[in-house]
Amino acid sequence: MTTSSEFDGLDRPLETSNSPALKFEVLARCSTTKARASRMHLPHYTAHTPMFMPVGTMGTIKGLTTKQLEQLDCHVILGNTYHLGSRPGPELLEKAGGLHKFMTWDRGLLTDSGGFQMVSLLKLANITEKGVEFENPHDGKMMMLTPEMSIGLQNSIGADIMMQLDDVVSSLTTGPRVEEAMWRSLRWLDRGIKAHKRPTEQNLFPIVQGGLDERLRTISAQQLIQRDSPGYAIGGLSGGEAKGKFWRMVSLSTDILPTNKPRYCMGVGYGEDLVVCSALGVDMYDCVFPTRTARFGNALVRTGSLSLHKGKYRNDTAPIDPDCNCATCARYSRAYLHIAASKETTGCHLLTVHNIAFQMRLMRDIRQAIVDDCYPQFVRSFMRTRFGKTVPRWIVDALKSVHIDLTVPDETGHAAAAIDSDFQKEPNL
């Protein structure tokens, strides 16, 4: 079993916040960037941040048991309120004593509000001040999800952290609709706070909204601070917007949100995004990417990913990553996984194990570099391995804002040139 030990001996927090169901301790800060390493005491588990939370839509990570998730050192996993509310449903979950007992998971759980699914996955009928009215995909009947209903469902699920229902708009939306959604989300937050029946057992996180508008983001964050919540989420991003705008909204939000409480950037999961956003002061992340890409035969490595279904791996007897100690890399070759990834569900399972192990190891390395106060050096090394001689300009600009300049030679003489592309699939060697 892999366990996090990077905080051993750090017993004097630099900063602390205490809420009825959450204690947050900042244990180390990077002296160059906004990165920090912290301990977050939840009702079911003490998590280390920055951390990545795998997404288990219906209380499961596809292809893995909860015991395997423990062995992979997952501290918190994410569940989907809409799907869990439909099946197994609140009655059965309450009878089982909550989702933790139902799925035999004794570590942290976070549930989303269900609102994102209403907008992105279902046939949306209407958003009103009351809530989100939509067509039930199971029977075609019209249903209404209100802030009170969302909190009620999440109280039944029993997650350590719950998310408010917010008025979700695409990150590409502009104009009056963005401001309308921001103010409505604040009103829905206040309704959710009033409806919350288990404040000493569960934490309700509000969500910073405002699209790509700096003024609205600022207003939203300042308004949320007045509610004195246990932690805060940064939402409405990772929806296809230009990455140059994405990082600026993240950084603006972390500049405003309290330094002694956790900050959760929703929907972020690419390795380079985790490294950059941690430098910008984010503590928590979730994304379906690592597990979803595994189901398409892709294994995550520090240079990007390996598409193991491709013929070039047919006779490759090396492990996915010789530096990875996961069960997949310890026992199976790329050649075996080439066959399994193309035709067998076994391949999906093995690649999911590896990809989650990759994410957990990356987060441990991030935390250790912050504790050792060598995060800028870690960032440079990571980006050099991931991208080589060229790096997407948004990354260069984001890191320069926190005093890491990738275009200036490091101690090895390596410097990178910025390219005007949000993505670079493989290193430019």
Q: Among all residues, which ones are annotated catalytic?
A: 112, 286
In the DSSP assignment, the letter for residue 206 is P
Between CA 193 and CA 202, with CA 199 as vertex, the angle to 5 degrees is 105
Q: How many residues does the chain have?
A: 429
Which structure tokens are listed for 284? 């928590």
**In degrees, to the nearest 5, what angle opens at C-alpha 358 toward C-alphas 352 and 364?**
140
- Amino acid present at 377: Q
> ∠ at Cα 266 (260, 270), nearest 5°?
110
CA–CA gap between residue 304 and residue 67 (Å, rounded): 28
Alpha-carbon span 130 to 216, nearest angstrom: 22
Helix (H, G, I), strand (E, B) or coil at 46: strand
C-alpha distances in angstroms, 325 versus 51, 92, 233, 331? Answer: 19, 38, 32, 10
In this structure, the strands spanning 232-234 and 207-208 are parallel
d(C-alpha 160, C-alpha 234), whole Å: 18
Token pair belonging to 69: 């998730």
3-state SS assignment for residue 73? coil
- Residue carrying structure tokens 């209403």: 118
| Residue 275 DSSP symbol | H
Q: What is the token pair recorded at 424?
A: 């670079």
- 117: tokens are 């699914």
Determine whether 173 is exposed, middle or buried from the number of CB atoms within 10 Å of its CB (0-12, 13-18, 19+).
Answer: middle
Beta-carbon count within 10 A of 206 CB:
27
CB 304 within 8 A of CB 285: no
Q: Can you name the residues that pair with 137 across neighbouring β-strands?
A: none
Q: What amino acid is encoded at 267 in this protein?
A: G
Number of H helices, E strands in the chain: 16, 20
- Give the residue from 42, 101, 104, 102 showing the smallest Cα distance to 76: 42
Residue pair 282/251 in contact by the 8 Å Cβ criterion = no
